[in-house]
Amino acid sequence: MVRILGPIVGLGFVGVLLWSLMWGAISYVQEPPVPTAEHEFHLHPKDVAFSFDGPFGKYDKAQLQRGLQVYKEVCSACHSLRLVSFRDFTDLGYSEGQVKTLAAEWTTETPSINPETGEPATRKSVASDKIPSPFANEVAARAANNGALPPDLSLMTKARHNGPAYVHSLLTGFQDQPAKMLKEFPDSKTPESLHFNPYFANLNIAMAPPLTGEGQVSYGDGTKPTVDQMATDVSAFLAWTAEPKLENRHRTGIAVLIFLLFATAFAYLAYQNIWRDKKH
Amino acid sequence: MATLEEIAAETGSEGVRRRDFINIAAVSFAGVGAATIVLPLVNQMNPSADVLAQASTEVDISAIQPGQAIKTIFRKQPLFVRHLTPAEIASADAVPVDSLRDPQTLEERTKAGKTQWLITMGVCTHLGCVPLGAAEGENRGEFGGYFCPCHGSSYDTAARIRKGPAPKNLEVPEYSFTSDTVVQVG
Amino acid sequence: MSFPWAEQYAPKHPFMRYMDEKLPLPRLVFNAIGGGYPVPRNLNYFWNFGVLAGAALMIQIITGIVLAMHFAANGAIAFDSVEHIMRDVNSGWLIRYAHANGASMFFIVVYLHIFRGLFYGSYKAPREMVWLLGLVIFLLMMATAFMGYVLPWGQMSFWGAKVITGLFGAIPLVGEPIQHWLLGGFAPDNAALNRFFSLHYLLPFVILGVIILHIWALHIPGSSNPTGVDVKGPQDTVPFHPYYTAKDGMGLGVFLIVFSILLFFAPNYLGHADNYIPANPLSTPAHIVPEWYFWPFYAILRAFTVDFILPAKLWGVLAMFASILLLFFLPWLDNSPVRSGNYRPVFKKFFWVLVIDVLILGYCGGAPAEEPYVMISQLAAAYYFAHFLIIIPIIARIERPLPLPNSITESVLAKHGGSTSGDTTLAPAE
């Protein structure tokens, strides 16, 4: 019974699939898929080397501090970092006192309630607070940015393929739209309110280039604040905000793997030992 | 083959001991591994970093007048901060310490030079209700301190238990004056 | 357990004798995985995957229960609660990555286990029930994994839930009411998230129960072996303990090494970056794909692009479920009396074609729904159905198998050139 119905059902599915295949092939030949500007001119992130790459990678605390400075002075005007607390900055090498000051002096204050009237108010942040968002809500954020919503950056380097390299490439990738692109795709001219960036998924990003020139931020440790340097530093910082436990993870991983290699080697020897008298 | 049997008998016991060693080593390694895994699984139940960050609270006491108290939160529980009047301090000192269920002087429960600041948890030591007396107009009980409405525990002006079922005085948490107007609790 | 030479459980310690009288659990363990369970001596490493699947389930249950202590199943805070686990809970990152990568390890091990069954004819009589229960476990695993992936409430969580629950809408007449009943609403939202959390916690224990039945059903005839020839006598077997407890211990070590490399050095490699974006019902990701272990089935679902009496979407749903349901009939589709692919040369070749076909389907399932992947999926899906429903029954009928060894012992001796040196349990070659 099964051996009769089975082949019939099988032929049914195979038939419908080949039918779909035939029509798919016909429409492919009649109307071949049109190449799109995004497909032709989108670029994958550049190859950027970071100190935290690879299984033995570590963060460079000085770099993370510089990255925080770039975030604070350039990005935090529009982008929130809502999953990071001020107290997390002790990971960057700051003392508890420095963190307390950072929190209290942060431009945006933490939302709270006026204790007398109950009206919404703000207060100075303390170390245990999360970093306050520059905008009260999504509507306010869009209103201030021409309808576009600047995304939260806490997880940006995990939310994009090849995240840290992507952020760096994006920040350094603003350029004039190539003439070749306009020639091949006359409709692809970047609209007035957007900016061409081949590293962005659909090539036109609402954000104006945030890193405009050298010296936009002045680093306390004397590093030259070129656009490339600032981009690298803030990318590393954002990698840390997305993966604060990376170093912990690598260290534990190496210890665990060494242990497991020994344990498995012993287990293998015990297995050989137990089976020595048994042909198998 | 007698010779072969003799050899077998000789190496018998030593051979077994040597053979067992690797088995024991393998099982021990596995055991150590298993025990190590238990540690993070148990530790994850300990307070997380954000809870520990809230383990310390700062209280601004500048607005509290003598005879007034405020209720605030410390580690998600009520905290009473009271500015004692000289009369309240005197009446606390007048009580013979040995007659107390939980003998403590007011000096022991406050910081040196700041006896007028009585900072205690607002949790009755009987079964955990929040005693009355911190806010304006609340019943302060027979001894002029705090009164717990649940089972009638009465605390005096130094928040020491005087009457009722509570076994201990209201708990004084760890705190320090970071300035004359700011106290850090915890 | 019908091997008369199996060692009998004989407790010596008075406490163990007391236990044996009151609640014979130690006896059960001894007879199931101890010295009292004879197993063919010639099992190869492909027989390790059953125990590894059990270990993977235990890892998922333990890490899952711990995660549930911190996870908040409410749409407004679910995503943030997972980040709270990653950042603030002690070793939270370790437990979360263990659970996410543990699910992948579970499927890797189970797929190898299933393909072992396909090659060596483990699904054939008298072990049909073991195979059927195994398929039930597989279906439960897929449901559990799907619901689990929704819980972090990222973009892929939400849109994956939307697509898969949307499939139910393809059922004629009752489709939409069923879809709304499943979701508790018109789109994945709080109601769906909460019930998925409840069921995701429940199903692994149902899986545990079915695994007990699966092992029980196996222990009636006992394990099969690479030759497919039945056990004939005591020289064909070894007691499970210590021979296979040792081998499984070693296999566990290798499993944990692979698991640790993933967890500690590439924890997001098998995942999708979009799931680190909070769910947004107003913004569809460029390419909605499920986790890698669903890709072959996803490819089959998307392969049907043209209506034919039924709408294409319905064909896709029917084919996707059929691709698993047809496996329930395998013991009867393949009625060749020879079990092991080692002695079925034609079957063996087609088996490897199937493996490549499933890998191709998997690759297409993760790719965008564009040419050439659609056409390749259509061909690969056609082969999949043809393989099980047409080719296998035909092979079973017309194939001439290679001569089988008379016994397991004979095959082991043949492997070692007839020498029995050191092994006193093997009968000397005739």
Q: Of A188-192, B4-8, B69-73, C224-228, which range is least confident?
A: B4-8
pLDDT of residue A157: 98
CB-CB under 8 Å, A256 with C326: no
pLDDT of residue C429: 46
Mutation target to probe the A interface, by most A beta carbons within 10 A, among B22, B36, B57 is: B22
Give which of A170, A161, A151 is closest to A228, Cα–Cα. Answer: A170
CA distance A277 to chain C (A): 5
Question: Which two tokens mark B156?
Answer: 């005096």
Is a pLDDT exceeding 90 seen at residue C84?
A: yes
pLDDT of residue B1: 47
Q: Are B37 and B158 in contact (CB under 8 A)?
A: no
pLDDT of residue A176: 93
Cβ-Cβ contacts under 8 Å for C346 (sequence gap 6 or more): C395, C399
**pLDDT tens-place string over residues C382-398:** 999 999 999 999 999 99
Is a pLDDT exceeding 90 seen at residue A280?
A: no
CA distance B52 to chain C (A): 10
Give which of C36, C43, C29 is closest to C4, Cα–Cα. Answer: C36
Q: Does C61 touch chain B (CB under 8 A)?
A: no
pLDDT of residue B11: 47
pLDDT of residue B16: 55
Active-site pick, B151, B167, B168, B179: B151
pLDDT of residue C415: 85
Give the DSSP per-residue string, C354-393: HHHHHHHHHHHHHS-S-TTHHHHHHHHHHHHHHIIIIIHH
CA distance A23 to chain B (A): 56
Cβ-Cβ contacts under 8 Å for C313 (sequence gap 6 or more): C167, C170, C304
CB-CB under 8 Å, C89 with B44: yes
**How far is residue A105 from each of residues A82, A85, B91, measured CA to CA in Å?**
17, 14, 45
Q: Are A184 and A113 in contact (CB under 8 A)?
A: no
Q: State mean pLDDT over C294-314.
A: 95
Higher model confidence: residue C265 or residue B4? C265
C62, C70, C242: residue with CB nearest B41: C62
Among chain B residues, CA nearest to A261: B29
CB-CB under 8 Å, C277 with A155: yes
Give the three-state DSSP class for B56.
Answer: coil
Question: DSSP letter at C196?
Answer: H
Q: State mean pLDDT over C412-422.
A: 79
CB-CB under 8 Å, C274 with A2: no
CA distance C83 to chain B (A): 12
Q: Does A85 touch chain B (CB under 8 A)?
A: yes
With 0-12 / 13-18 / 19 or more C-beta atoms within 10 angstroms meaning exposed / middle / buried, residue B128 is exposed
**pLDDT tens-place string over residues A86-144:** 999 999 999 999 999 999 999 999 999 998 899 999 999 999 999 999 999 999 999 99
Q: Please list every residue in chain A whose beta carbon sits closer than 8 Å to the beta carbon of residue B50.
A: 85, 128
Highest mean pLDDT among B52-56, B130-134, C256-260, C307-311: C256-260
Q: Please list every residue in chain A whose beta carbon sits closer than 8 Å to the beta carbon of residue B36.
A: 259
pLDDT of residue C44: 96
Q: Are B25 and A272 in contact (CB under 8 A)?
A: no
Mutation target to probe the C interface, by most C beta carbons within 10 A, among B36, B41, B42 is: B41
CA A217 to chain centre: 22
pTM to 2 decimal places: 0.92
Q: Does B26 touch chain A (CB under 8 A)?
A: yes
Higher model confidence: residue C224 or residue B15? C224
Is a pLDDT exceeding 80 seen at residue C7?
A: yes
- Dihedral sign computed on CA atoms, order C203, C207, C208, C213: positive
Q: Which residues of C are catalytic?
A: 219, 223, 247-248, 291
pLDDT of residue A187: 87
pLDDT of residue B123: 95
Q: Are C363 and C298 in contact (CB under 8 A)?
A: no
Q: What percentage of chain C exceeds 90 in pLDDT?
A: 93
Is a pLDDT exceeding 60 seen at residue C76?
A: yes
Is a pLDDT exceeding 70 seen at residue C62?
A: yes
Q: Please list every residue in chain C whose beta carbon sits closer than 8 Å to the beta carbon of residue B41.
A: 62, 66, 95
Is a pLDDT exceeding 60 seen at residue B173?
A: yes
To the query of whether residue B151 is one of the catalytic residues in this protein, the response is yes
pLDDT of residue C425: 74
**pLDDT tens-place string over residues B17-26:** 666 899 999 9
Residue A72 has phi, psi (to 5 degrees) of: -65, -45
- Which chains share 3+ C-beta pairs under 8 angstroms with B? A, C
Q: Assign C1 a pLDDT band (cuts: 50, 70, 90).
A: low
With 0-12 / 13-18 / 19 or more C-beta atoms within 10 angstroms meaning exposed / middle / buried, residue A73 is middle
pLDDT of residue C2: 67
CB-CB under 8 Å, C385 with A10: yes
pLDDT of residue A80: 97
Q: Are C300 and C319 in contact (CB under 8 A)?
A: yes
CB-CB under 8 Å, B33 with A128: no
Is a pLDDT exceeding 70 seen at residue A60?
A: yes
Q: Does A260 touch chain B (CB under 8 A)?
A: yes
CA distance C42 to chain B (A): 22
Q: Does B9 touch chain A (CB under 8 A)?
A: no
- Average pLDDT of every residue of chain C: 95
Opening angle at CA A147, ends A141 and A150, nearest 5: 45
CB-CB under 8 Å, C243 with A6: no
Provide the CB-side half-sphere exposure for A82 (13 A, CA): 18
Is a pLDDT exceeding 80 seen at residue B36?
A: yes
Cβ-Cβ contacts under 8 Å for A275 (sequence gap 6 or more): C243, C246, C247
Is a pLDDT exceeding 90 seen at residue A26?
A: yes
CA C331 to chain centre: 18
Q: State mean pLDDT over B133-152.
A: 92
Q: State mean pLDDT over A255-272.
A: 96
Q: Does A255 touch chain B (CB under 8 A)?
A: no
Question: DSSP letter at B132?
Answer: B
Give the three-state DSSP class for B184.
Answer: strand
Question: Which two tokens mark C130?
Answer: 């073991």
CA dist B24 and A270 (Å) reads: 8
